[in-house]
Amino acid sequence: MSPRFIMNRIFDEPVMAERIESIKAGMIGGFSLGLAFIVTSLLNTLVLAKYFPTLVSLQIDVNLSWFLSGAIAGFSGLLFGITYRYIIRTDQNSHLKDGAVMAFGLVRGLTQVEMGWSSSNTILPCIVMASESILWFATAAIALDLAIQLGWVKSFPSS
């Protein structure tokens, strides 16, 4: 392949249009997952840690560590949004949607359970955090499905 062919392919209009749609999906996924992170952080601090002594470790302090966790959650949402658009395509297969949510949610959540298992006396806070991870990605999937229905993001064609 010649360098000219490769450059023409990179800047090909249909290819660039698909990339822009993927970036939009990623931004929606990142924003919605970041928002879910904030809501669950507040819920953990104001409800769970306050009324359930076993879950006091879920209480957050707004500091650099919390902002870093939020940034990681947002970046995870961005990657999920881009990937989710390619996974679901124009198919109406609910197993693909559910599988994408569970794959991303469980990878993040089970890592938290594993870390909690080895470093704490109780596993319950880690199970709560793992459940939150699945909830976050489900929230992002709902936001992306809504964006696709409203025409804000175009589905990836099934070719």
Query: So what's the pLDDT on residue 150?
Result: 96
Could you tell me the pTM of the whole model? 0.87
pLDDT, tens only, 85-138: 999 887 778 888 999 999 999 999 988 888 877 776 778 888 899 999 999 999
Distances (CA, A) of 29 to 36, 76, 78, 105, 118: 10, 8, 5, 13, 31
In this model, does residue 151 exceed pLDDT 90? Answer: yes
Give the residue among 159, 156, 153 at the shortest CA–CA distance from 26: 153
- 132: tokens are 């939150």
The answer to whether residues 140 and 35 touch, using CB atoms and an 8 Å cutoff, is: no
Tokens 């999937």 sit on residue: 141
Domain ranges of the chain: 3-150
pLDDT, tens only, 36-69: 999 999 999 889 888 888 888 888 888 999 999 9
